[in-house]
Chain A
Amino acid sequence: MEKAIEIENLSYSYPDGQQALRDINLAVGLGQTVALIGPNGAGKSTLLLHLNGILRSDGTVRILGVPLEDKNLKWVRSKVGLVFQDPDDQLFSPTVFDDVAFGPINMGYAEEEVRGLVGQALEWVGMKGYEERSPHHLSVGEKKRISIATILSMSPEILVIDEPTANLDPRAKWELIELVAGLPMTKIVASHDLEMVAALCERTIVLDKGKIAADDATSNIMSNTPLLQRHGLAPASGIIEPQYRGPSPNR
């Protein structure tokens, strides 16, 4: 199978010396939908930032077979679309149109093409007619959709989404899952929302303390309760018992 992403011996330390990623090796085939799960602070977001060269460190990252280097950063960023977790970070323009058009304009498309791409991207996420709205006045679900549209307008071949379902109510969450499932490109989704992972991704990578702890078909990972427990992804005892009882109301 042709590879969309190949990572070899990738390690990364934060400027303060704390190690965030240790010796990551992984390959993602074209057209796959892969979940990256792990507890808070496992290094998921850090790994995602390496996929389009916002963070660089030793180790090799190959996108569509091409090693990521300084001189092809622009090409890589047009191929790998990264959706940040907080839509208030992703959407920084005064209007929705400006934001969705930001990527295509930077890529140097002509005006007509930009307008076409923006319309198409907004239609894809079901947000047509929101062009002149200000991002601040939208619901979280709408902001998330438009965040994805800002990337779709660049027609990437690989879509990388950080915590797509964070802060969404169940209805908005399932609508978003449906939307992402309908996108045809290679997808990497970082999350600790196992419900979404089970519904969306055929393959799951467990990341903990900067290392890959498991890499298998999603169904195998989800049925391996001891593994999930070990990495803080399932309740330790298997039964939820209230540990803290506040002052009794009858007292």
Chain B
Amino acid sequence: MKHGFLDRYSDLGSFIHKLDPRTKVITTFAFILVVVLTPPPRWQAFALYFALIAGLVLLSKIPPLYVLKRSLVIVPFVLFIAIFIPFLKPGELSGSYNIWIWQISHSGLLILWNVVIKAWLSVLSLILLSATTKFAELLNGLEQLRLPKVMVMILSFMYRYIFVLVDEVIRMKQARDSRSFGGKRTWQLKTIGNMVGTLFLRSYERGERVYGAMVARGFEGQTRTLSRPHFRMADLYFAVVFLICLALVSLSLLI
């Protein structure tokens, strides 16, 4: 079965796609760091951060709607956590609102805004990173940035086998659905439990076989890699311009 949900659009040819993965990783993390460290009341800064990301999305030729949809998938998780904060934080500032029996404090709302906007901007930047970089290149970049090799290998196996596992789950679901005609909820839960168990065992056994295939080709515990391409001038320009923009946005508003 075909899947393309992890690094879809990563084979488009914009100049952002052609940047060295290291440049993109570094600038993405710089962006996230700056966003997270910006004081929440400075909404102008957040607007500018958004404009920056939106500009890059347009430059990268990725359909903006795709980026937006992907980012919305992750927002519910943040909302779920953040939604309780306004109720829990006792009102310190004046002007707290009353909705039915709850007291919503101003400072609580600010924290909610803080969590949601920062998470959303960070997720947007990560979507931009993953949509403009082939996963294999991203791994190379992380490795060159001295991420421990074990971590790189784990990520690489995750990327390779997530599709295989998804296929396996789809097949198991089809096999279940073609023999299941409703039944009680507890019974269905039990079936799901069995499926999870089977999936674990199969993955475990696959792990053993994959290790066998690695050992058969001379794997002895350490990974070696070929030398990788170097930074180009475009990388330097992009990184410098991007970081200056970032610094200007965050600093100008401090004054």
One digit per residue, 1 when the CB lies within 8 angstroms of any chain A CB and 0 when it does not, for chain B 124-138 equals 000000000011100
B254 contacts partner chain A, Cβ-Cβ < 8 Å: no
A52 contacts partner chain B, Cβ-Cβ < 8 Å: yes
Which residues from chain A contact B216 at a C-beta distance below 8 Å?
52, 54, 77, 81-82, 84
Please state if A54 and B212 are interface contacts (CB–CB under 8 Å): yes
> B103: shortest Cβ distance to chain A, in Å?
52
Bound Cα distance A101, B136 (Å)? 14
A70 contacts partner chain B, Cβ-Cβ < 8 Å: no
Could you say which of A58-66, A86-94, A166-174 contacts chain B?
A86-94
Please state if A102 and B135 are interface contacts (CB–CB under 8 Å): no
Which residues from chain B contact A134 at a C-beta distance below 8 Å?
136, 160
B206 contacts partner chain A, Cβ-Cβ < 8 Å: yes
> A212: shortest Cβ distance to chain B, in Å?
23
One digit per residue, 1 when the CB lies within 8 angstroms of any chain B CB and 0 when it does not, for chain A 150-177 equals 1100100000000000000000000000
A198 contacts partner chain B, Cβ-Cβ < 8 Å: no
A135 contacts partner chain B, Cβ-Cβ < 8 Å: yes
Please state if B164 and A136 are interface contacts (CB–CB under 8 Å): yes
> A217: shortest Cβ distance to chain B, in Å?
30
Which residues from chain B contact A136 at a C-beta distance below 8 Å?
3, 160, 163-164
Please state if B156 and A151 are interface contacts (CB–CB under 8 Å): no
Using known A-B contacts A103-B218, A111-B227, determine if residue A90 contacts B213 with beta carbons closer than 8 Å. Answer: yes
Which residues from chain A contact B209 at a C-beta distance below 8 Å?
84, 86, 89
Which residues from chain B contact A25 at a C-beta distance below 8 Å?
none
A95 contacts partner chain B, Cβ-Cβ < 8 Å: yes
One digit per residue, 1 when the CB lies within 8 angstroms of any chain B CB and 0 when it does not, for chain A 99-141 equals 0011101111001001100000000000000001011110000
Q: Interface residues of A: mostly helix, strand, loop or mixed?
A: helix
Bound Cα distance A84, B209 (Å)? 8
Which residues from chain B contact A204 at a C-beta distance below 8 Å?
none
Bound Cα distance A193, B13 (Å)? 46
Which residues from chain A contact B136 at a C-beta distance below 8 Å?
94-95, 98, 132, 134
Please state if B220 and A94 are interface contacts (CB–CB under 8 Å): no
Please state if A94 and B217 are interface contacts (CB–CB under 8 Å): no
Which residues from chain B contact A107 at a C-beta distance below 8 Å?
218
Nearest B-chain residue to A48, judged by Cβ:
B216
Please state if B213 and A92 are interface contacts (CB–CB under 8 Å): yes
One digit per residue, 1 when the CB lies within 8 angstroms of any chain A CB and 0 when it does not, for chain B 189-213 equals 0000000000000000010011011
Please state if B224 and A84 are interface contacts (CB–CB under 8 Å): no
> B238: shortest Cβ distance to chain A, in Å?
23
Please state if A94 and B215 are interface contacts (CB–CB under 8 Å): no
Please state if B164 and A49 are interface contacts (CB–CB under 8 Å): no
Number of chain A interface residues as a range? 35 or more
Number of chain B interface residues as a range? 20 to 34
Please state if B139 and A94 are interface contacts (CB–CB under 8 Å): yes
Please state if A106 and B218 are interface contacts (CB–CB under 8 Å): yes
Which residues from chain A contact B215 at a C-beta distance below 8 Å?
54, 77
A33 contacts partner chain B, Cβ-Cβ < 8 Å: no
Which residues from chain B contact A74 at a C-beta distance below 8 Å?
218, 220
B226 contacts partner chain A, Cβ-Cβ < 8 Å: yes
B219 contacts partner chain A, Cβ-Cβ < 8 Å: yes
Which residues from chain A contact B213 at a C-beta distance below 8 Å?
82, 84, 89-90, 92
Bound Cα distance A151, B216 (Å)? 9
Which residues from chain A contact B212 at a C-beta distance below 8 Å?
49, 54, 84, 89
Which residues from chain B contact A151 at a C-beta distance below 8 Å?
217
A78 contacts partner chain B, Cβ-Cβ < 8 Å: yes
Nearest B-chain residue to A97, judged by Cβ:
B136
> A251: shortest Cβ distance to chain B, in Å?
22
Please state if B214 and A92 are interface contacts (CB–CB under 8 Å): yes
Instruction: List B128-176 residues whose CB lies under 8 Å from chain A.
Output: 134-136, 139, 156-157, 159-161, 163-164
Please state if A93 and B156 are interface contacts (CB–CB under 8 Å): yes
B180 contacts partner chain A, Cβ-Cβ < 8 Å: no
Using known A-B contacts A89-B213, A94-B135, A94-B139, determine if residue A78 contacts B218 with beta carbons closer than 8 Å. Answer: yes
Bound Cα distance A115, B226 (Å)? 9
Using known A-B contacts A86-B209, A90-B213, A94-B135, determine if residue A105 contacts B159 with beta carbons closer than 8 Å. Answer: no
Which residues from chain B contact A54 at a C-beta distance below 8 Å?
212, 215-216
Using known A-B contacts A49-B212, A94-B136, A136-B164, determine if residue A102 contacts B217 with beta carbons closer than 8 Å. Answer: yes
Q: Which residues of A contact B (CB under 8 A)?
A: 49, 52, 54, 74, 77-78, 81-82, 84, 86, 88-95, 98, 101-103, 105-108, 111, 114-115, 132, 134-137, 150-151, 154
6 contacts between A and B (CB under 8 A): A54-B215, A77-B218, A84-B216, A111-B226, A134-B136, A154-B217
Known A91-B160, A94-B136; further 10 A-B contacts with Cβ < 8 A: A77-B218, A89-B206, A89-B210, A94-B139, A103-B217, A103-B218, A105-B226, A106-B220, A111-B226, A115-B226
